[in-house]
Homo-oligomer: A and B are copies of this chain.
């Protein structure tokens, strides 16, 4: 049952394992190994069904050909689609992926980064949950390759790919104002200190102010990640039983939007008649919901591909220079913000 090693091949052929290694890495010609010997090595390798041990190789070369991907929750469809793009892009360069979810816990994220580094991943693609950039600064200081995706600290001179959350949010808000909304409520997923959430809130708030709407913090309800449904219930209670219900709700995350919609169904709150509903993160289901949901779509394919390109360049290219890529979103207007 023991797996076949280079040594086994070498011994059974009466050659050195150096030679076997060179041949199987296609360095035979370069090192002047005769065609005849090369043939024998390949044949024996096939006969014994040799598979190299990547651990041993990685230990020696210092390259594991593995990347880490850290997101809040891989079962969130936004991240799983992103993960798939990243998996494929990484695969093209012969890298594989260890995927981890933080559950929006900053502490867990730090543990995961530590674990991934202990596993000698060559780099990490990270949608951070950190409140401040301290830990990522340490990564930078250690010259450890990583890319910020989706969420990021602008002050870090690090590779970044994200969307213009401010602009996307402002566009959506403008749309709501254009169709007559005067009181926009925000459902923000905790932790709300992330760049993504802050920018989305700012985009909405500024646009409201610019257009002469009242704005204060009261418009924002924070939904704890650990109990989305319960928190949504509370938010709705608060809004709809105190007589200051918003005429439009802007959910900053697809999960929350769904939960809000479910709650409205239960309570017979009509969308869009009683309240307009909109969300960040367009997903394919939004089009088929009742009512179909107006949403801000993110170019997740581009994001995924770019992040891998940047990361691999930063791993393999000594003179890699960091880049910040900010992509545009697209507003998809649907029935949840249209009366007719």
Contacts and interface: CB of A to CB of B under 8 A. Distances in A.
Tell me how many chains of this kind the complex includes. 2
A288 interface: yes
A261 interface: yes
Contact of A114 (B51, B58, B77, B292): B51
A84 B77 contact: no
A81 B75 contact: yes
A53 interface: yes
Contacts of A81: 75
A240 interface: no
A261 B291 CA distance: 14
Contacts of A19: none
A177 interface: no
A290 B97 CA distance: 37
Nearest to A335: B290
Interface string A105-141: 0000000001101111000000000000000000000
A266 to B, nearest CB: 11
Contacts of A119: 54-55, 66, 96
A52 interface: yes
Interface in A75-97: 75, 77, 80-81, 83-84, 87-88, 96-97
Contacts of A52: 118
A64 B287 CA distance: 43
A219 to B, nearest CB: 25
Contact of A100 (B58, B87, B114, B258): B87
6 contacts: A74-B80, A75-B83, A83-B99, A96-B115, A97-B98, A97-B100
Given A54-B118, A74-B99, A75-B81, 13 more contacts: A55-B58, A55-B59, A55-B119, A66-B119, A75-B77, A87-B101, A88-B101, A96-B100, A96-B115, A97-B99, A99-B99, A262-B287, A265-B288
Interface of A: 1, 51-56, 58-59, 64, 66, 73-75, 77, 80-81, 83-84, 87-88, 96-101, 114-115, 117-120, 142-143, 258, 261-262, 265, 284-285, 287-292
Top 8 A-B residue pairs of the complex, sorted by shortest distance between their CB atoms: A290-B290, A80-B80, A75-B84, A285-B285, A54-B119, A75-B81, A55-B59, A288-B289
